[in-house]
């Protein structure tokens, strides 16, 4: 049997500890499938004394990730710390500069510096694998990077944040408020103590930026993403969506249009009978539409120690099976030097259907006025209805729900601005985009 593949792991938290456990428990099976043993020879974390429920007694401990990356006797550096800067970024750079293969689950780092890191890896003939960085255990990176080569991708979209999907699912199923569901998610460990990064959509945006590059062969453009989180979604929106045959999901969508690439993360209404609408709780889903294959939809665990470690282990196994000097798969699907500049499509030119919820003073002519503001902006309506609230007085404000046929974001913004200028409006109108899956 060939020499062992020597692995150094930086970060022994949720993912790192699971990875150590799995590699140790499955040593024999891994040696057979990979044709060589996988051996963890170096580790690091912040606190050497912490009980992690794993046995690292025979493994060399390094005090910092940077030192491990620079000095350890390893073939592969596995980064499971997290963060776009600091020790994670510094140690990954150092390992690649040394010509080591790198495996990481760090979407923040890739979204910020993926192209630069890909260049270093490709210059050094090293592999940089990051399957776990997007949608946890779902093998979407490999699908885009390798399996769909030759396809022209037109759209990639998905549910890529388990915290948001958990909150939206609980709101719908149990009629609870956003705040209550967030508290429950925190209690169960699905949401961080500071949940802003998840619920504001930034986490989904990082993942989307990586998928966009793999799908369209353009440079990573994480700062060019239209971003709206789920904090403004109310139980009224969820109920209205349900009555109209939709469910609300936080989607990340990257789409090729005539004027460039749209990258957007926002609450989205998807038809109730679509498969993605059925993806509940912390589960993730990613759909890819391409010309040769058609639509591919992958659903599975997007987070958690074991699911994420499964993807990291797959990446390590790929390295164990690869031959030295063999042609490498480009890190981002296209060689870093050949990635096209990113061309952003303006959000105002986005085309699609819209849901609009408006609260108005109950007076004659309001319905007609709203319909007129829509017509003036060439927006054709699929439905318009007034929702009665049996618990409130007859003359209290009323809710009007509109669903439009496909139109442009610019038209919607103009129509909504016109309605905002009307004296009958109460509060802020709610606007939610509708996304229609092609096949499923
Ligand atoms: N958890 C998931 O479900 C999941 C899913 C997909 C991707 N990821 C990604 O996987 C990576 C790891 O996530 P995680 O959930 O395992 O994080 P975690 O539980 O917070 O673990 C982070 C680990 O990094 C170590 N660490 C932090 N700062 C360090 C430093 N300055 N020097 C050395 N070690 C340091 C910590 O050491 P101590 O233990 O001593 O504090 C800990 O062992 C992140 O990039 C994350 O985005 C996670």
Q: Which of 107, 142, 207, 398 is catalytic?
A: 207
The average pLDDT across 195-212 equals 97
Atom of ligand 1 nearest to the CA of 16: 16
What is the pLDDT at residue 320? Answer: 97
Closest Cα to atom 34 of ligand 1:
45
- Ligand 1 centroid, distance to 48 Cα (angstroms): 14
CA dist list (Å): 290 to 72, 144, 155, 255, 421: 43, 10, 7, 11, 43
The ligand 1 atom nearest the CA atom of 83: 45
> What pLDDT score does 13 carry?
96
How far is ligand 1, taken at its centre, from the CA of residue 87, in Å? 11
User: pLDDT, tens digit, for every residue of 313-371?
Assistant: 999 999 999 988 788 899 999 999 999 999 999 999 999 999 999 999 988 999 999 99
d(CA 62, CA 68): 6
pLDDT of 15: 96
* Closest listed residue to residue 407, CA positions, set 430, 434, 383, 372: 434
Rounded to the nearest integer, the mean pLDDT of the chain is: 95
**Which mutation among 19, 80, 141 tests ligand 1's pocket best, with the greatest number of atoms within 8 A of CB?**
80
Q: CA-to-CA distance for 41 and 13, rounded, in angstroms? A: 17
Intra-chain end-to-end CA distance of the chain, in Å = 46
34 CB neighbour count, 10 Å cutoff: 20
pLDDT at 2: 86
Residue with the two structure tokens 């060689």 = 335
Q: What percent of the chain shows pLDDT beyond 70?
A: 98
> How far is Cα 210 from Cα 415, in angstroms, rounded to an integer?
34
Determine the Cα–Cα distance for residues 383 and 244; give it in Å rounded to an integer: 9
Q: Which residues have C-beta atoms less than 6 Å from ligand 1?
A: 11-16, 44-47, 50, 64-65, 80-82, 87, 105-107, 132, 136, 303-304, 308
Distance 105 CA to ligand 1 centre (A): 9
Determine the pLDDT at residue 326: 81
pLDDT, tens digit (0-9, with 9 covering 90-100), for 106-128: 999 999 999 999 999 999 999 99
6 near 39, Cβ under 8 Å?
A: yes
C-alpha of residue 191 to centroid of ligand 1, in Å: 15
Ligand 1, closest atom to CA 15? 16
Q: State yes or no: is 256 an active-site residue.
A: no
For residue 87, the ligand 1 atom closest to its alpha carbon is 31
Burial of 6 (0-12, 13-18, 19+ CB in 10 A): middle
- pLDDT given at position 80: 98
Mean pLDDT over residues 72-79, rounded? 98
pLDDT value, residue 390: 61
pLDDT at residue 296 is higher than 90: yes
């Amino acid at each position: 049997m060939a020499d062992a593949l020597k692995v150094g792991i930086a970060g022994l938290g949720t993912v790192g500890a699971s990875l150590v456990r799995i590699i140790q428990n499955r040593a024999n099976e891994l040696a057979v499938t990979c044709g060589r043993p996988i051996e963890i020879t170096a580790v690091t974390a912040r606190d050497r004394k912490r009980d992690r429920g794993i046995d690292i007694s025979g493994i060399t401990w390094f005090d910092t990730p940077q030192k491990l990356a620079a000095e350890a006797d390893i073939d592969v550096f596995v980064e499971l710390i997290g963060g776009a800067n600091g020790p994670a970024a510094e140690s990954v750079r150092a390992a690649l500069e040394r010509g080591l293969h790198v495996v990481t689950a760090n979407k923040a780092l890739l979204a910020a510096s993926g192209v630069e890191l890909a260049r270093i890896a490709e210059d050094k003939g090293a592999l940089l694998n990051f399957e776990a960085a997007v949608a946890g255990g779902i093998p979407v990176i490999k699908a885009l990077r390798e399996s769909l080569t030759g396809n022209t991708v037109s759209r990639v979209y998905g549910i890529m944040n388990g915290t948001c999907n958990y909150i939206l699912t609980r709101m719908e199923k149990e009629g609870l408020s956003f705040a209550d569901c967030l508290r429950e998610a925190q209690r169960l460990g699905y949401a961080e103590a500071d949940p802003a990064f998840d619920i504001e959509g930034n986490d989904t945006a990082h993942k989307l930026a990586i998928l966009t590059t793999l799908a369209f062969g353009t440079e990573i453009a994480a700062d060019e993403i239209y971003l709206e989180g789920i904090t403004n979604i109310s139980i009224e929106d969820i109920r209205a969506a349900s009555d109209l045959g939709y469910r609300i999901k936080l989607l990340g969508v990257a789409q090729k249009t005539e004027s460039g690439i749209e990258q957007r993360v926002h609450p989205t209404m998807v038809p109730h009978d679509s498969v993605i609408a059925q993806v509940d709780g912390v589960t993730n889903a990613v759909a890819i539409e391409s010309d040769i294959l058609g639509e591919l939809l992958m659903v599975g665990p997007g987070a958690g120690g074991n699911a994420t470690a499964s993807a990291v282990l797959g990446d390590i196994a790929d390295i164990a099976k690869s031959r030295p000097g063999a042609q490498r798969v480009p890190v981002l699907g296209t060689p870093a030097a050949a990635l096209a500049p990113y061309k952003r499509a303006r959000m105002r030119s986005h085309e699609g259907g819209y849901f609009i919820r408006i609260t108005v003073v109950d007076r004659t002519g309001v319905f007609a006025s709203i319909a007129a503001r829509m017509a003036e902006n060439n927006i054709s309506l699929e439905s318009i209805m007034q929702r009665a609230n049996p618990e409130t007085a007859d003359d209290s404000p009323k809710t009007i729900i509109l669903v439009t046929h496909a139109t442009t974001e610019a038209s919607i913004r103009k129509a909504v601005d016109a309605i905002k200028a009307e004296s009958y409006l109460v509060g802020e109108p709610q606007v939610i985009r509708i996304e229609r899956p092609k096949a499923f």
